[in-house]
Amino acid sequence: RMYKRQLVCRRDIDVLNVPFLAIYESLIPPEEEKQKQKQLMALLERLVSKEWPAAKLYLYGSCANSFGVSKSDIDVCLAIEEADMDKAKIIIKLADILQSDNLQNVQALTRARVPIVKLMDPVTGISCDICINNLLAVVNTKLLRDYALIDPRLRQLAFIIKHWAKSRRVNETYHGTLSSYAYVLMCIHYLQMRRPAILPCLQEMETTYSVTVDDINCAFFDKVEKLGDFGRHNKETIAQLVRGFFHYWAYCHDYANSVISVRTGSIISKREKDWTRRIGNDRHLICIEDPFETSHDLGRVVDKYSIKVLREEFERAAEIMQNDPNPCIKLFEPY
């Protein structure tokens, strides 16, 4: 009898696979968008190399980590060795160089936490932010992209979760909720923790890729094509994973004591990281360890008000996934 009940439940949730996959497909950027990004990168490379022949440009963030939805802005990092020049000066010079070409709305934001040049390319219609020497972001972009290549369910889950977070307005770091980067790490961690596991822990495996950036050694296994169909022993479907993800963050996560860690593929304790007290503005109300900058908690933007908002949204989503006859509508209802 129990067995029959489980089967019924299972079939019920799985009717949601079709609409969830349809939402996922509708969010994937079309190939022509990728072409336009390449076209803009080529233009930027040409302009930058005139002034700094040794400089390099890297795409990072959602346009390069495979978790970007259609019509996203692109994030670019200028890698440059100008020991005698501070970032603000480089930003101003860069804005100058780009201004002279027919790029639009070129702005140098030298006072931002991460100084950037913003611009819009009228030919491709793409907006872009360029930062200087933020190479850790380039490396974490590669880590995310490599994870996405291991099992298609990661990209599906992350697209659905990002879409939910944007619809419900809990993807706004300036309002104390989480970045897209944090949500993707939560998805990777969730799939690492499934039994059987759907994702491995690349940083605990043999090192095949290693770079040192800002004194941090970033090492992991990146020959992901050799992992075969790693998650094949786990048959969970996208609908079950979406439900399980929200259920975990609504009812199972130990907010008081736990840190989720993609680096170790496990849960570690706040005590172990000394993240138990509030220091300055770091409250550690939801703890997500950065895989490389391990002293960095991606939940540090969350304050005592926004943690309530966030947890209520997780509970709302879990409740909808459990009981609502038509969850795909309700889940993404604009806030």
- Nearest to residue 41, comparing CAs of 121, 139, 145? 121
Measured distance CA(101)–CA(112) in Å, rounded: 24
The reply to whether 141 sits near ligand ATP by the rule CB under 6 A is yes
The reply to whether 176 sits near Mg ion by the rule CB under 5 A is no
Measured distance CA(261)–CA(202) in Å, rounded: 12
Measured distance CA(150)–CA(159) in Å, rounded: 16
Q: How far is the CB of 60 from ligand ATP (least distance, A)?
A: 5
Residue with tokens 């907006």: 127
Look up residue 318 and give its two tokens.
């879990």
161 makes contact, choosing from Mg ion, ligand ATP, none, with CB < 5 to 8 Å by partner type, with none
114/329 with CB nearer Mg ion: 114
Q: How far is the CB of 6 from ligand ATP (least distance, A)?
A: 37
Interacting span for ligand ATP (CB under 6 A) from 14-22, 62-70, 195-203, 229-237: 62-70
> Across-strand partners of 128?
74, 119
Among 20, 44, 61, 199, binds Mg ion (CB under 5 A): 61
Interacting span for ligand ATP (CB under 6 A) from 66-74, 104-112, 152-160, 271-279: 66-74
Measured distance CA(26)–CA(321) in Å, rounded: 21
290 makes contact, choosing from ligand ATP, Mg ion, none, with CB < 5 to 8 Å by partner type, with ligand ATP
Interacting span for Mg ion (CB under 5 A) from 47-55, 67-75, 114-122, 298-306: 67-75
Q: With H, G, I as helix, E, B as strand and everything else as coil, classify residue 132.
A: strand
Q: Which residues contact 110 (CB under 8 A, 6 or more apart)?
A: 87, 88, 91, 92
Among 106, 137, 287, 320, binds ligand ATP (CB under 6 A): 137
Measured distance CA(307)–CA(255) in Å, rounded: 10
Measured distance CA(317)–CA(310) in Å, rounded: 11
Q: How far is the CB of 61 from ligand ATP (least distance, A)?
A: 3
Site for ligand ATP in 175-204 (CB under 6 A): 179-181
Among 124, 140, 156, 192, binds ligand ATP (CB under 6 A): 140
Q: How far is the CB of 105 from ligand ATP (least distance, A)?
A: 18
Look up residue 200 and give its two tokens.
């491995």
Kindly determine how many residues on this chain lie close enough to bind ligand ATP according to the rule CB under 6 A: 17
Measured distance CA(44)–CA(124) in Å, rounded: 13
- Nearest to residue 13, comparing CAs of 323, 329, 334, 331? 323
Q: H or E element: which one contains 92?
A: helix 87-99
Site pattern 292..331 for ligand ATP (x: CB under 6 A)? ----x-x---------------------------------
Measured distance CA(249)–CA(334) in Å, rounded: 20
Residues that bind Mg ion (CB under 5 A): 61-62, 75
Residues that bind ligand ATP (CB under 6 A): 60-62, 65, 67-68, 72, 75, 137, 140-141, 179-181, 290, 296, 298
